[in-house]
Structure 1
Amino acid sequence: MKINEKSLSAYSTSASPIDKEGWLCKRGELNKGYQKRWFVLKGNLLFYFERKGDKEPLGVVILEGCSIELAENDDQFSFKIIFHGPNNRSYTLGSDSQESMEQWMKSLACASYDYMKFMVADLQRQLKELEESPMVSLQLPNNQTSLKKESNEQLSPQPPPRGRHNPFNKPTTGHQSPQRKDIVSFRKSFKELHNQLGRPILRDRNEWRFGLIKQELNNQEPLITL
């Protein structure tokens, strides 16, 4: 399988979703000591950097055809990524706590494409079993049959009463809408309204104008001063 290193390096720091990231201690292939590295998991690709925020990763582990196991003979909170087959390298990683180690092991074990195929096949098998399983029917004793019928009749919807009518429809000969007696209709012509409301307004207006004229006359100086 050919891998474009530039594309892979750009993908490691791109804005694509990150499944998990954090600090882990990685044992070297030649130097058996542990070195602290920043790991980023994206899909089935596990990138590791020298420092957090670096633009280029030091390496990548493709999580296909491998298994995640505890490193029993190594330090505490360490686990291995073991690739099956001849001349395949295994990676030993260490965490700082039991909880962190378990989270990393679960995330790495579920990252491979083979695991996804296994989960899909298992879900399809469960769905097939549910579709083929017979329906379980509950049988009631004879003395409870009548109770079941009565309860069904009570729960079944009843038709609405036929005496209802639409209040927005025009009344027919068969049904006359009751007329309210407390509503009194007042209808007057324009002339009556003008005489009733216009005359008081005109009277008030004339009184107001007369008051203004009287006030103006009082404020004027007399023509002849004695």
Structure 2
Amino acid sequence: MLKRISLSLLTALFIAGTFSLTTQAQDFEGVIHFEIPEMAEQGMGEMPYMVKGNKGRMEINHMGQKNAMLMLPDESKMVMIIEKMQGYIEMDTNKETSKSDLEETPDTEMTNTGQTKTIAGRTCEVWRMESEDGTFETCMANGMGTFMMPQNKMQKNQAPEWAKTFAEKGAMPLEIVEIQNGSKSIKMKATKIEEKSLSDDLFKIPEGYRDMSGMMRGMQNRN
């Protein structure tokens, strides 16, 4: 069971970490439904990503087990909600990051292709990004927030320029495509966008849920 929790947590962190956080409030409030082929292969359905002000919530359904990740920049934390165990894991985003971790961030060359697309009814700009990790095209929409991962000041200063640019613009990736040997494969794509009012409760730890943060730290220390 702990292995399944760890897998879901790492999956959420991987997705959320794609773009840096912008803490400015956004005009958009609602739900962006993302389709991620690699997650579908693991038995996960679409991933709803919710935006309200500068808060974010992503939900992951893995083989009927539901988890959610809350991004709460005003509180400098992320929270993983584990519904089946009625518990949560809290991560302090002000925790220092080692210098060696920061130096591992690859340099990225970012180019605006001048092209636009309409995805899930929204217009977005196509940018090409090239780094040691590969070549990607991402279609970015303004005014919808950004795919958030709260980071401390040290991390923000070391973020690649493309991440800083999108964070400042408050841009949301509606499609990410990997390019290999001239072939393109979709890594993530918005399939539906719902602009609507969301309850504040969606961005809070449910009442009565127990703190499992110590358990996760113990697992990390053993690895």
Q: Shorter-normalised TM-score: what interval?
A: under 0.3
Q: What TM-score do you get using the length of structure 1 for normalisation?
A: 0.22
TM norm structure 2: 0.22
Structure holding more helix per residue: 1
The structure showing larger relative contact order (alpha-carbon pairs under 8 Å, at least 6 residues apart) is 2
Relative to its length, the structure with more strand (as a share) is 2
